[in-house]
Structures are given as structure tokens and as C-alpha cells.
Structure 1
């Protein structure tokens, strides 16, 4: 059993395999050729944080793949009323085949995964947003940029998106520049992990507070909220 809590959970080859499978399914879906890859599988969707795109995409995706999605907000389950996370994980994983959780704290996901009998997918946490990065990667490749030739810049707070870019780049081995405001840098431990990964993959990672330095020559620029600060 494998969980999908961060992109660091997978090797480069596994990430590319997921990407290629996604392209295959997307191509089939465009011609309404929906194949039941997840026939009769049940996905529990736990939402501590509300979302339009995450909820709709997972719900529709499960239906198109032949499965069923069950929406569970913190108001609908005992987790929102103080039930231990491990009890929630045990109960839900007895009756469902997959769990997707969109949570406030990454530690919640780690505990869910520890006590779950089924795979847990990170739909967003305060530390990582890996499914969003896989969707971004699909878009980049569809625009004609091969993964080894990606030269990306992230501009914004050192948040879950910045951390996920660090994991993706360091696993696939492409160039990434991260520009954050002073005082809003990325998590040092996550950066250290990315730098360790880069020793294997050959990724080039630049961390800066200078937007111009980050975006100069980049083929892909992604942004998050950043007060101007004179930049």
C-alpha cells in the first residue's frame, strides 16, 4: 500500500508513470471513452478546508473511472467534534478503498495515513499540495516543454505550493528558482530534503528574495500572493 502525501513519496520514474497514465485517461475522457479503472472503488473525501476545484475534480474523476466519491466535511463527521484522527482513519478505511483529505495541518495527514488500511491522498495541507503540482506538470508538458528542459520560477510566499515545486523539481531534475519575500522563506527542512534529492537528480535549485533574478530566462513562471514590497 502506498500513500500520496508529498511528491517525495515517489521516484522520478514513478512520477513520470503517473503523468503518462494521466495523459492516457485524459485522452480517453476527451472522446467520452470512460473506462472503469476504479470500478466500484469508494473514495472518502475529507474536507477540513472547503474547495471548488478539488471537490469537483475528485468527485467527477471517481465517477468517470467507475467509482464512487463520498464528501465528508468536518461538520459531517466526528473528526470535527473532537474524535481522534486515528479512530476516524480506522472507521473510514474499513468501508472505503481510498481516502483523499484536504486538511489544515500536514500532521493530520500523517496520522491518517499511519492508521488507515487504505491509501491516503493529500488534497492539500499547510505544507504540500502535490496533486496541484501534477496538474501543473501536465499543463507544462502539453505546452511542449519536455520535463528535463523545464526552467521554472516560483514567486510568492514559501508555502505549500513552493514546497511542492521544490519536491517536483528535485525529483525530476529540472531547474527551479524560488523567490520569496524576506521573512516568508520556504521551510528549511523541506529545502534540505530537496537539496538532497537534487544531488541524485541533478536539479538546479535557486532560492532568492529577488523576483527579477528568479524569472530571468524562465520558461515557466508560477505566482502566489506577494505584496509588492517595491519589486
Structure 2
């Protein structure tokens, strides 16, 4: 497992007042809560059907919003482009086959050029080191749209979904049944910042990144929410209000598929597992979903909020642009 220190925004361009969204660990508890609240605000505004004011619709008028994606995407691409259009910007998608990056040009050169022409960069990349380099060399905000260590937009979306469903987040329990990956790395911190206790179950041989556990301990001391880890899905799901899982084979791990499926054989979220949860339990998954991760009965059942969760990716992206890209009033 890659080991990274929690990024503390020590990039050289921070002296210019530039802010990047790298991980939830970088955000204060109040800053993260504000992002969730603003996502909810913009969702309500859009759902009302009323036209938004020019202060929103013209905020990025005449400006590019770049989506620099090295990985396939559905929700991230649609939500990021939708958020750019909401503020009047023009989204430009740059996939791995669209630009010279990695072929005839270095990441440094590409970052310097693209950031000189755009208002921000949504970056969906392979390694966390790529996000760090982008932040170091970019002259505009970088919004981490997924790397191998973090997925902050998903965490904002997930807490928004939980808050909408339960009304209040403080005192809830979230169970994670699955891999020690980028999604839980940010979701665990986001949940703790929201007063939600977290119980993580990973298969034998898989453990959480110590850097994440260290960050979680600090947040727990602040909010009183707790984090526990084990290799027992039943223990994690006991009295849980929210049960979450994700892909067992992440992009880039295809060669390990058979080994990982064997390792995760007893980790499918089924109705038997959910019987251990609290009476008001809900199921979440960031999608795309595979049958080995969760049964149809749970995924499409009345307790599933996966499609509401997916829609909320749009409002998370909108909140991120507002907070990190638009000039402060």
C-alpha cells in the first residue's frame, strides 16, 4: 500500500492564496460542514425550478473548466461538467488519449500550460503523487476528482446523502464492508467530522493506511465520534445506520482480480448481513456496482439510497467550485 503523509497545503503556490481540494483531511470540520451545507443549498435551488441569479450563472462566464481524466468516469464526468455549466463556465474534457501528457510532454509542462488557460482543473488521475505535482505547479485550483489514495468529492456527496436521509448526522454509525481504498480513506474522515462513528471491516491481509488512522484519531478527539477496524463484517454492521461498500477490484488492479475476489468471498453485503443493522439502516455504494459486492435484494431494495447518492455528486461538484474556485466575497 502506498504511504503518504496527510497533505497540509504546503504547496509553493499557496502563498498566492490558491486553495486546492486534495482530501477531506485537509479541511477543518467547519469548512467541510460548509461544503455539505452549500451542496444542499444549491440542490434546493436547482430543484425549485426557479432560475438562478446572474451571480451564479455568470460566475465563470467566458472561462474554461478543465477535466483532466486519466481514468474512465461516469458520475464524476457528468457532475463536473454539469457544475461548470451551472456557473456559466465551459467544461473541456481531456482524456488520456486527447493530450500529450505521458507521451511527448511532462506533467509539469502540461500543468503549466493548461492552468494558464483555465479557471480550475478537475483531476481524475492514478497516483496521489500526480495530484501533489498538479497542486505544486498549477496556477489555478486543483479539485481532486479521484486518485489512488483519496476521493473527496464522493465523501462530500455521501455526507450530504446521509444528512438528507437521517436529518441529523451526529450519533449515527456507519459500517464499511470492503477494501481499504480511496473512498473509505476520505469517507471515514468526513463521517467523523460529521459526528458519525465508523466501523470498518477489511478482509484478512488488508489494513487501513496508518496515515488515515492517525488523522481519524485527531478528528475523533475533536468530535467524539469513534473509529474501529476489524476483519469481521458482522461486527461492523452490528447496529449500523448506514452500510457502505465499494468495488473489490479497483481500476488498475485487474491483474489481481481472481486473488481479490477470493479474499473478499465473505464480504458481500446481503440481507443476512443487514439483519444485524439498526432498524432504520440504509445502503450506499458509489457505483459502478458488481454482483460480488452486494446482492440485488439489497442494492435495489427499499433501504438502498444509491441513486440519490449518485445524483448528489452534482451538488458536491458545485459546492467545490464555489468554495475553491470562485473569488471570496
TM more than 0.5: yes
For the pair 1:33 / 2:51, whether they are aligned, the reply is: yes
Deviates more, 1:203-212 or 1:58-67: 58-67
> Unaligned regions of 5+ residues in structure 1, if any?
none
- Determine if contact 2:172/2:196 at 8 Å carries over to the other structure: yes
> Unaligned regions of 5+ residues in structure 2, if any?
1-17, 249-263, 269-329
Give 1:174 deviation, angstroms.
Answer: 2.2
Superposed CA offset, 1:102-132 (max 9, x none): 0111110010001111110011111111101
Secondary structure class of the residue paired with 1:136: helix
Match of 1:106 among 128, 132, 135: 128
Match of 1:21 among 35, 38, 43: 38
Give 1:230 deviation, angstroms.
Answer: 7.8
2:265 corresponding residue in structure 1: 228
2:145 corresponding residue in structure 1: 123
Measured on the aligned residues, the alpha-carbon RMSD in Å equals: 1.7
CA distance in 2, matches of 1:215, 1:82: 49
Give 1:37 deviation, angstroms.
Answer: 6.1
- Determine if contact 1:166/1:191 at 8 Å carries over to the other structure: no
For the pair 1:189 / 2:211, whether they are aligned, the reply is: yes
Give 1:144 deviation, angstroms.
Answer: 2.3
- Determine if contact 2:158/2:187 at 8 Å carries over to the other structure: no
CA distance in 2, matches of 1:206, 1:129: 21
Q: Kindly indicate whether structure 1 or structure 2 has the higher relative contact order, using CA contacts under 8 Å at least 6 residues apart.
A: 2
- Determine if contact 2:178/2:267 at 8 Å carries over to the other structure: no
- Determine if contact 1:8/1:171 at 8 Å carries over to the other structure: no
Secondary structure class of the residue paired with 2:179: coil
Give 1:68 deviation, angstroms.
Answer: 1.4
1:6 corresponding residue in structure 2: 23
For the pair 1:206 / 2:228, whether they are aligned, the reply is: yes
CA distance in 2, matches of 1:82, 1:183: 39
Change (3 A) 1:124 1:230: closer
Larger Rg: 2
2:311 corresponding residue in structure 1: none
CA distance in 2, matches of 1:47, 1:61: 16
How many pairs align? 231
- Determine if contact 1:37/1:66 at 8 Å carries over to the other structure: yes
CA distance in 2, matches of 1:197, 1:93: 33
Secondary structure class of the residue paired with 1:157: coil
Which one has a larger percent strand, Structure 1 or Structure 2? 1
Change (3 A) 1:171 1:37: farther
CA distance in 1, matches of 2:104, 2:181: 27
For the pair 1:46 / 2:63, whether they are aligned, the reply is: no
Superposed CA offset, 1:65-86 (max 9, x none): 2111110011111213152222
Secondary structure class of the residue paired with 2:188: helix
2:195 corresponding residue in structure 1: 173
Matches within 5 A, 1:33-112: 33-34=51-52, 35-36=56-57, 38-40=59-61, 41-112=63-134
